[in-house]
Structure 1
Amino acid sequence: MRRFSVPGPVDLLASLRPLVHSAQDPTIRLRRDGVVRCSRTPDGPGTVEVMREPDGRFVARAWGPGAAWLLDRAPALVGGSDDRDGFVPERHPVVARAARRRPGLRLGRTGVAWDALVPTILAQRITSGEAARAWTRLVRAHGEPAPGPYELRLQPAPERLAALPYWAYHRFGVERARAEAIVAASRSAAHLQQAIDEPSPRASARICAVRGLGPWTAALVLRIAAGDADQVEVGDFHVKNQVSWALAGEPRGTDERMLALLAPFAGHRGRVVRLLLATGVRAPTFGARQRIVAVERL
């Protein structure tokens, strides 16, 4: 068990929401006052519980072979290592307003690339609802019971997913292209884990070198696993429009326009995106009202 403090406010729901990949995600339980999640750490599987105490401090408990590893990183998980140095929200009034409304939004660091890889690949090219269903069904079918008392299920092991033929993914609503990307990522899991400790450009390049993984996947994996506050999901179907609308009043944008608008916040561009989306910024919608997450390079 570990007790620790995190300076400043921490909004657990807003900060850790990217770790929840479906409403029935078997790998995590997130509440306003705490989180329980399981992970395949470099030391083995484990489950960690982090709860906020009445005095504002946190207490962490963990189970399984990866328990000590998870306890060491519990503060980073809830944003304790999130470095806001150089972030000046006043460079744009909308960003300043979002920062005031969400002062407790932190960028956490899980320290495990694998946790984010498969759910991110599943979200390529389809709606968020389809991705959520695929993730839940895949974990229930090929995951394992997690250590500890919470009856969570571990993410499927890389070697298990690497051994599945592409057609075995069809029952989860996953077509051949994404299935082959999952298999390629599974075979490169150790290589991808090493990437999150690299400087940002090199880390992105190492992830994108794996078949079926492009800049969108790399950005989300690095923001979650490495806590990289500068990662922007280039290639997302909607984010470029949300940023263009929020920062320039333009209902439609391009990736290039989005990056230009975010340039004054270099080093914290991903933080700005998180703040804008967390405060409900929505560009005007035209056409069908379904949320396609991303169109990734495959």
Structure 2
Amino acid sequence: MTPDDALDWRAPHETHVVSTLGVLRRGPGDPTFALAADGAVWRTTLTDEGAATMRVLQRGPDLVRVEAWGPGAGAAVALAPSMLGERDDTTGFRTGLDVLDDAHRRNAGWRVARTARVMESLVPAILEQKVITLQAHASWRRLVQKFGSAAPGPVPRPMRVVPSAGGWRAIPVWEWHRAGVDPKRAATIQRVAASAERIEEAAEFSHADAAARLTYFPGIGAWTAAEVAQRALGDPDAVSLGDYHLANYVGHALHGRDMTDDEMLDALAPWAGQRYRVIRLLMAAGLRGRPRRGARMAFVDHTGY
């Protein structure tokens, strides 16, 4: 099926499509994301011009083919280079630690994505607040399947486009319950959806101003703002403070001990401006975090509210 718009893009640096876009996937059943047998990444998005389905295929170390279908195809293709990390220049980046610099060389094509679609990252981040990831992904999947729209184009499997801001606001209370979302998170999503235009403006702000805009809204703290910055804003420095596991992971990976958030920030201070990248490199290097001896977050059933 001939795409409505397409682009053969040569990146200014090595770019790996699957690893760069993988952070946008919300679990293996995410109805907005698919990885095809030929290696192409399929992703849906809701642009200002309308819904779009994108097919993104690696054709060389720095060459990417982008195709799109739907009324938002042109806008989606125009944003594709940003989404693939066009602005994420790591020239001269060194950590000073051999194990991390080696991980950086081995993963040179991984870039910090910038979708510039803030609500698309904000809603699932809110769903992931204070619950286990598996539970949040199930909520996201159910809500998008039921209240999103069918993806345009020749999708490799049934896919959906996220609801509009009005669509999120229109979800009745009992459907949030059925999706396992407690009243606090549901109210936060509906609150930000009511101010979606102001939320989307953050994509063009400085990283500091974007964080200030997002955390202005009740229910959005530093953790949620950082999760959005890592996907929608292309921020290589965004640290997910308040994460259930992150501080201890970084503490053990770097110094072999538990850490508080403040201690983690001190440990990451030598890499200010690139702290999110360093955390990802710790993981890419295979450095072990805290041994799993303590309690894990439990599944919390919110359907009874």
2:79 matched residue in structure 1: 73
Distance change >3 Å, CA 262–CA 282, structure 1 → 2: same
Instruction: Write out per-residue CA displacement over residues 137-170 of structure 1, whole angstroms, 9 at most, x where no aligned residue.
Output: 1111111102211142011221121123444301
1:26 matched residue in structure 2: 31
Residues 178, 212 of structure 1: 8 Å contact kept: yes
The aligned runs of 1:193-208 (5 Å cut-off) are 193-208=200-215
In 1, distance between residues paired with 2:12 and 2:23? 22
2:249 matched residue in structure 1: 242
Aligned-residue offset at 1:260: 1.0
- Candidates 258, 267, 274, aligned match of 2:264: 258
Distance change >3 Å, CA 188–CA 279, structure 1 → 2: farther
Residues 51, 151 of structure 2: 8 Å contact kept: yes
In 2, distance between residues paired with 1:282 and 1:159? 43
The aligned runs of 1:210-249 (5 Å cut-off) are 210-249=217-256
In 2, distance between residues paired with 1:229 and 1:238? 20
Q: Which amino acid aligns with 2:274?
A: H
Aligned-residue offset at 1:14: 2.3
Residues 42, 66 of structure 1: 8 Å contact kept: yes
The aligned runs of 1:17-96 (5 Å cut-off) are 17-30=22-35, 33-53=39-59, 57-85=63-91, 87-90=93-96, 92-96=97-101
In 2, distance between residues paired with 1:161 and 1:7? 37
Percent of matched pairs sharing the same residue: 38
In 2, distance between residues paired with 1:170 and 1:282? 37
**TM-score with structure 1 length normalisation?**
0.90
Aligned-residue offset at 1:290: 5.2
Residues 82, 107 of structure 1: 8 Å contact kept: yes
Distance change >3 Å, CA 44–CA 126, structure 1 → 2: same
How many residue pairs match? The answer is 290
2:15 matched residue in structure 1: 10
1:181 matched residue in structure 2: 188
Instruction: Write out per-residue CA displacement over residues 222-242 of structure 1, whole angstroms, 9 at most, x where no aligned residue.
Output: 120111111110111111111
Q: Secondary structure at the match of 2:220?
A: coil
Distance change >3 Å, CA 207–CA 96, structure 1 → 2: same
Q: Secondary structure at the match of 2:210?
A: helix
Residues 207, 233 of structure 2: 8 Å contact kept: no
